[in-house]
Amino acid sequence: MTETLQRAIGAPLDRIEGGEKVAGEATYAYEYEAGGAVYVVGVAATIAKGRVVSVDESSVPDALAVIWHGNAPKLEQVEDGELALFQSPEVAYRSQWVAAVIAETYAAAQEAERALRIEYDADEHDVVLKEDHPRLYTPEKVNPSFPSDTDEGDFDGAFAAAEVSVDATYRTPAEHNNPMEPHATIAVWDGDGVTLYDSNQGVGPVRKAVASAFGIDPSKVRVIAPHVGGGFGSKGTPRPNVILATMAAKIVGRPAKVAVTRQQMFAVTGYRTPTIQRVRLGATRAGELIAIAHDVVEQTSTVTEFAEQTAVPTRMMYASPNRRTSHRLVKLDVPTPSWMRAPGECPGMFALESALDELARELGLDPIDLRIRNEPEIDPESGNRFSTRNLVGCLREGAERFGWKEAPRRDGRILVGTGVASSTYPARRQPSQATARAERDGSFVVQIAAADIGTGARTALTQIAADTLEVGVERVRVEIGDTRFPQAMIAGGSMGTSSWGAAVVKACRMLDARLEEELPVEVHADTADEAAGIEREPLASHGFGAQFVEVHVDADTGEVRIPRALGVFATGRIMNAKTARSQFIGGMTMGISMALLEESRMEPRFGDYLNHDLASYHVAVNADVPRIDVHWLDEVDEHVNPMGAKGIGEIGIVGTAAAVANAVFDATGVRVRDLPITPAKLVDRL
């Protein structure tokens, strides 16, 4: 590798667009100029189940138009039922958009939304998830395509014969994605084509959904999203705001602007399903796992099925000859759950890693030692070799850096304890395309329809291109976030940079071979064949990590504080030390927030989440996370992509909540199995 290569990939390069963002010059979806634009506000249902009988359009005389199922244009093909706006009188959940108002100003649209009179015919609703719900069923698959159930060996016999066992149920509440930039869309029709300025995690799926819904050729739909203010999974698929803006603009013949309010985001943009998880572990006195079972109950909506893959990480995490996992769903009168940072691994590893800690206590073993004793040589689920697996290295490195393990102690009224948990997340890639062009002035332009949702993707791709071309980063310009660029994988599943970077590497290598030709020269690369990996050995590819947490618990109030946390990760080659550190810290912060604060509270009588704003839905702030340290092991995994990288966007949140819960038990002797760990759950038990 040349000196240029060593300086680019891995270097703590500042974000390419950082200056624009700090100066307020980066344009987000709702900020684009659209002459003569109208404002559109979705109207939320005030019943949890039933149907719309009538809409009194005369109640909003200042509105340019009111859209509801009685007058809405019929949509063509809509795969996601949440996008079938105003196609039926049925109300599937409270706060579902059942109408919309269009006005000259946003204030007028808000006033019209409040004044619009809608008559409903309400039915009895069911919104409470229960482990014994009579309508539980087994989905055909869990996200994205895993089998719902697995059963290897003889779990029942092995568990009954185990010398030591744990049988515990863990619960996680509904949690809502709250990116800084709410979902927003501006739609501008020009003849039979439409341009959408939209906040999303991938312009391609938005184009596909709009083209399908409105029956137009995808080439007639352009989606633009160069800057996105966060997503955490909620913008991974198109949301109703996209359809509403497109429909409204078509109806009035003018550009239409839709911004989902913070309160509405708790209904129409997805969330993490609540889970009820039973984990059973059986082991020998020496700490060898001989039986593992992980059974999950979670919810979906009556609109569209979404099954979170909560028990999937248990299938490959630790060695055991007898393993069983299952997922059960119930369709409730609630919004459709969806992706939220590390779907599956995040809630699933909370339960598994908490149960491992409980087993370690029963055995009198150090929790790290128990994990190391059950380290598998091959993937227990597939039987394949791991491309790389450095969990043990993360645990040992973290133990040394953290100072593991101090005995729990009391300092006045403060109870002090420490906890540990493992992290994991799959390392994958999907086909993507990219173009690379050499200009006459010595610069290079790379184009790819990738998305930078605040992760630093644009910067990492610049570094990848510069290294491949063996030039300085100042000579490379990467353009993203536009359907006019080659199609690419969405920013999701921690495989954005892995997928996009592979396409950029291929394009830049192709371009490098043609630099002797007359400039400008442009090449196009497609990684479909490489991503398929048909001729490669099938390998199990995952990132791993270890989370260490110290907690201080006030014995009088039950308040939990976290003075320090450490994450150590093995996630392949790091593309940018600065943005990677930011991603790890962000994930761990979100995990602490999950452990101590986040909870969407369902009110059964009304069938809605009560705390649908940031005043009452609490997230971690600076005072909650005073010091987080991160470290990563030197690792290169070229089995996943030519950069040797694995995804890092989600692994930071995985395991953090379990480490907090384990530390709370260490400090107090109180095991909290239902998140979040609030003072009310501790104070009477201390």
What type of residue sits at position 575? M
Of 345, 352, 503, 531, residue with least CA distance to 435: 503
Query: Which positions are annotated as active-site residues?
Result: 650
- Asked whether residue 136 carries a pLDDT value surpassing 70, the answer given is yes
- Asked whether residue 2 carries a pLDDT value surpassing 80, the answer given is no
Q: Is 653 helix (H, G, I), strand (E, B) or coil?
A: coil
Longest Cα separation, the chain:
78
What type of residue sits at position 32? Y
Q: Is the pTM value of this prediction over 0.85?
A: yes
Q: What is the pLDDT of residue 532?
A: 87
Are 168 and 279 in contact by the 8 Å Cβ rule? The answer is: yes
Per-residue pLDDT, averaged over 250-260, amounts to 98
Q: What is the pLDDT of residue 536?
A: 82
Reported as type and span, the H/E element at residue 108 is helix 106-115
Distance CA 235, CA 347 (A): 20
Report residue 192 as tokens: 């039979």
First to last CA, the chain: 58
Distance CA 215, CA 446 (A): 32
Percentage, residues of the chain above pLDDT 70: 99
Per-residue pLDDT, averaged over 268-281, amounts to 98
Instruction: Name residue, tokens 């010091």.
Output: 627
**pLDDT tens string 538-567:** 999 999 999 999 999 999 999 999 999 999
- Asked whether residue 534 carries a pLDDT value surpassing 90, the answer given is no
Of 266, 187, 185, 269, residue with least CA distance to 228: 185
Q: What is the pLDDT of residue 1?
A: 34
Q: What is the pLDDT of residue 3?
A: 41
Q: What is the dihedral of CA 71, 77, 78, 81, to 10 degrees?
A: 70
Tell me the CA distances in angstroms from 665 to 405, 419, 538, one per residue in order.
14, 8, 40
What type of residue sits at position 561? R
Q: What is the pLDDT of residue 666?
A: 98
Reported as type and span, the H/E element at residue 458 is helix 457-469
**pLDDT tens string 493-513:** 999 999 999 999 999 999 999
Helix orientation angle between 345-363 and 577-596, rounded to the nearest 10 degrees: 70
Of 474, 472, 478, 529, residue with least CA distance to 501: 478
Q: Strand pairing of 289-301 and 323-332?
A: parallel
Q: In sequence order, which ranges of 565-655 are alpha helices (DSSP H)?
A: 577-596
